[in-house]
Amino acid sequence: MAKAYLLREGLSEAITSAENTHNRMQEKSLADIILMCEYDITNYIQVYKTGFEAWKTLKDLYNLDGFISKYLLLQKFYQTLQADFKTVKAYVNKLKSILNNLAA
């Protein structure tokens, strides 16, 4: 979703290459990326000067085999409550979906 937003704003070049974009485009893309992230994730990227560096770091953190990806799935699993679903079937399907993503 973040990539689509940057594309819409004309900033997609900033995250594909550090060399092909102007400094202002890199700054704007970095600001947008930081604003889209939750507070704890911004700690990983606020040290960077370009959107390209921040995007690469987030890609590395959130790749399917990455620690953060697995951690967030586990967190989602443990925070999923039956009370949040209308039926037991929907609740069990959500848990199965999370477990399938963890096993992948």
Instruction: Tell me the two tokens of residue 76.
Output: 């989602």
- pLDDT for 104 equals 66
Long-range contacts of 48-57, Cβ-Cβ distance < 8 Å, separation of 24 or more: 50/14, 50/18, 50/26, 51/6, 51/11, 51/14, 51/15, 51/25, 51/26, 51/27, 52/14, 52/15, 52/16, 52/17, 52/18, 52/21, 52/26, 53/18, 54/29, 54/30, 55/14, 55/15, 55/29
pLDDT in tens, the chain (104 residues): 778 888 888 888 888 887 766 888 899 999 999 998 888 888 888 899 899 999 988 887 777 667 777 888 899 999 999 999 999 999 999 999 999 888 86
The residue extents of the domains of the chain are: 2-62, 67-103
- pLDDT for 42 equals 86
